[in-house]
Amino acid sequence: MKYIVPVLFFSLVLGLSSCNKNDDEVEIPAVVINELLPKNSQNGSDQDGEYDDWIELYNPSEIDQDISGYYLSDSKKEPGKWKFPEGTVIGKLGYLIVWCDGDTLQSGLHTNYKLSADGENVVFLDRELNVIDLAEYPVTFVEQSWARKPNGSGDFAWSAPTFNRSNE
């Protein structure tokens, strides 16, 4: 009986200390899909001057994020469609553009698929193919991007493209 009070007290202290997060706080993933442009002809060109479709990832955290070995796909059924090469890092509060042109022979980050102007989804996955983020977009408007507002955390909506910068 003399041990019950200390055990109950210890249990209460542990329980209260594990409840340090407010119900209103939302945990933001380290990297998110921030914007995509499925039909590009004038908003951001790759290193060869080509206006390809693109996906913009954003790191809302205060530390660099290494996404080497992570995946991007345009298909929930084929999650491992394109893998980020070793050394792929997004700096703190930084952006990373991935070109969706099906041209993997170009230097830089070029996927082995293109984005559909008829609408589809973009899936960002970790090394074990767990979904980190998903953006489903409808039929594309010409030169309109599917972007999060506010930047990095809001809902997606059609917007004027903000290539490699904040969606505000």
Q: Which helix (H) or strand (E) holds 17?
A: helix 4-17
Give the C-alpha separation, 74 to 110, whole Å.
13
3-state secondary structure of 6: helix
- Partners of 49 in the β-ladder: none
Residue recorded with tokens 């990095």: 152
Can you read off the two tokens belonging to residue 131? 């979904």
CATH code 2.60.40.1260 for 28-159: yes
Domains of the chain: which residue ranges? 28-159
Q: pLDDT digits over 4-63, tens only?
A: 444 434 343 334 334 444 444 445 568 999 999 998 989 999 999 999 999 999 999 999
Can you read off the two tokens belonging to residue 71? 């995946």
Q: pLDDT digits over 121-166, tens only?
A: 999 999 999 999 999 999 987 889 999 999 999 999 999 999 999 9
